[in-house]
Structure 1
Amino acid sequence: MLEILPETHDDMLAVRVSGELTNEDVDLYRDLIRGRMKQYGAARLYYEMVNLTWVKPGAALENALFDLVHGRAYDRVAMVGEKVWQKWAANLISPVKKKGVRYFELAEREQAMRWVQTGQE
């Protein structure tokens, strides 16, 4: 499930994913981030993962391809999670993002949000 967080505004998209991430969730995410990239030239992203149990393989592949094509249009990206594989995923996609990806633990979510918003911890 994809939840749009209230901190979403202007060039910043803040989302929380949980449970099962579907193709429709990934389509919505891509539409929202693409719109910000188009309007502002770049987009900041806060991406929080809580109790994420499954990502549909097709959705994961489509998202990876989107990141490869549009990676340079991302500004600051914070991935917030609770599992080792989520940290690995952040490290894996970091090189294709303009400013890389910073990974934060769930306990650091306020620090992550502040960093995405202001560039400071």
Structure 2
Amino acid sequence: MLTVLPETHDDMLAVRVSGQLTNEDFDLYRELIRERMKQYGSARLYYEMSDLNWVKPGAALENLLFDLVHGREYGRVAMVGERWWQELAANLISPVKKRGVRYFTISQRADAMRWVQEGF
């Protein structure tokens, strides 16, 4: 499930993903981030993973392809998670993002949000 967080504004998209991610969740994410990229030329992203237990492989592949095509249109990207494979995913996708991806643990979520918003 994808939830848009209230910190979303202007060129920044803040989302929390949990449970099972579906094609529809990824479609909504891509639509929201694409709108920001189109309007502002780039987009900052806060991406929090909480109790995430399944991602449909086809949806994840589509999202990876989107990131490969649009990676240079991302500004600061923070991925916040609670499992080792989430940090691995952040490290794997980091090279295709213009400024890379910084991984934070759930206990560091406030630092992650501040970093995406302000950079520190």
Counterpart of 2:51? Answer: 51
* Deviation for aligned residue 1:7: 0.1
Q: Deviations over 1:73-94 (max 9, x none)?
A: 0000000000000000000000
Aligned to 2:9, the other structure's residue is in SS state: coil
**TM value normalised by structure 1:** 0.99
* Deviation for aligned residue 1:13: 0.0
- In the alignment, the residues of structure 2 paired with residue 22 and residue 57 of structure 1 have an alpha-carbon distance, to the nearest angstrom, of 9
Counterpart of 1:18? Answer: 18
Counterpart of 2:112? Answer: 112
Alignment of structure 1 residues 2-81 onto 2, 5 Å: 2-81=2-81
**TM value normalised by structure 2:** 1.00
Amino acid at match of 2:73: A
- In the alignment, the residues of structure 1 paired with residue 69 and residue 5 of structure 2 have an alpha-carbon distance, to the nearest angstrom, of 25
Aligned to 2:54, the other structure's residue is in SS state: strand
* Deviation for aligned residue 1:35: 0.4
* Deviation for aligned residue 1:52: 0.2
* Deviation for aligned residue 1:48: 0.0
* Deviation for aligned residue 1:117: 0.0
* Deviation for aligned residue 1:114: 0.1
Aligned to 2:112, the other structure's residue is in SS state: helix
Q: CA RMSD in A?
A: 0.2
Counterpart of 2:101? Answer: 101
Aligned-pair identity in percent equals 78
* Deviation for aligned residue 1:43: 0.1
Moved over 4 A (4+): none
Question: Structure 1: which 5+ runs fail to align?
Answer: none
